[in-house]
Amino acid sequence: MAEKSLNSKLLTGRTLGLLGAGNMAEALARGVIKSGAMSAMYMMASDVSEERRTLFEGTLGIRTSVDNNAVVAASEILVLCVKPQMVASVVAGIAPVFDVKRHLLASICAGVSSAKIEALLPSGARVVRVMPNTPMLVGCGASGVAGGKNASDDDIATIEALFATASMTVRVDEKMMDAVTGLSGSGPAYLFYLVEAMIDAGVAEGFTLEQARALASRTVLGAAKMLEETQLPPEELRRRVTSPNGTTQAAIEMMEAGGVKAKIAAAVRRAAGRSRELGR
């Protein structure tokens, strides 16, 4: 997470507009408000869903509108939080009111390059791409950040500070954003898939569903904390829990025989490839 002082320095006194009020926009808004980097009174969101607008207004205290242009007019920093297939229509719609000197636009839309967004906006538009992931909903996300051709270091740092309120951030070249999508953007689903299998196996061994879920979930949480807090390579942590000829070794040998590691690597690459496909 970024230091609160960095957030305050780059975000205090700025206005934030969220174009789309879905789950990721909500996670970002909650993170910004909780961090104290910006209050809800300096934020505005747009969405076609009355339910989402009601949530933002009633729960978060953020003004909303069905009109994207109203949000652009009220904001300096804009975050594009719509589905990739909606990007062209939404960005083209705000172009007439987009001021390249006043507005800084971040996009969390998978597979959509900054160049494609810049081409829909007035010349010189400053665009920064971000690929966050769903753990941002609990303030523990991971976000890759890449600046477009017109984004300055200060612009990128501003967007990093914004997303650092709900996630850690890693600055990368834009050519790596599809890989970020495959690794961390889609990554939570890989862990959820693993936990599903662990729970199913636990139930098959005789646990209740609740017991198996509690044991598997806590195991994944604890393992993640060990990775982060010890800073040891995963290979070393795995070695420490794998006694020769023991239970863990038997399980690892089963997974190795089934090519599990290779299949996971292939899955990450397939997700990255799909991100590239979506951007074409």
Q: Which residues contact 183 (CB under 8 A, 6 or more apart)?
A: 268, 272
Residue with tokens 């070249």: 173
**Rounded Cα gap, residues 231 and 24, in angstroms:** 28
Mean pLDDT over residues 203-212, rounded? 98
Contact 4, 37 (CB under 8 A): yes
**Rounded Cα gap, residues 15 and 35, in angstroms:** 15
Q: CB 48: neighbour CB atoms within 10 A? A: 11
Q: Is the pLDDT of residue 132 over 60?
A: yes
Taking the CA atoms of residue 132, residue 133, residue 139 and residue 145 in that order, the dihedral angle to the nearest 10 degrees is: -20
Q: Is the pLDDT of residue 53 over 70?
A: yes
Q: Is 245 left (phi over 0), alpha (psi -120 to 50) or beta?
A: left
Which domains are delineated in the chain?
4-177 (3.40.50.720), 187-279 (1.10.3730.10)
Q: How confident is the model at residue 180 (pLDDT cuts 50, 70, 90)?
A: very high
16: helix, strand or coil:
strand
Distance between first and last Cα of the chain: 33
Give the chain's length: 280
**Rounded Cα gap, residues 234 and 26, in angstroms:** 32
Question: In the prediction, which pLDDT does 83 show?
Answer: 92
Mean pLDDT over residues 214-220, rounded? 97
Mean pLDDT over residues 126-153, rounded? 95
DSSP character string of 125-180: -EEEEEE--GGGGGT-EEEEEEE-TT--HHHHHHHHHHHTTTEEEEE--GGGHHHH
Q: How confident is the model at residue 2 (pLDDT cuts 50, 70, 90)?
A: very low
Residue 87, token pair as written in the block: 């990007």
In single-letter form, the type of residue at position 241 comes to: V
Question: In the prediction, which pLDDT does 1 show?
Answer: 40
Instruction: State pTM to two decimals.
Output: 0.88
Residue with tokens 């705000």: 94
Taking only the tens place, the pLDDT of each residue in 251-267 is 999 999 999 999 999 99
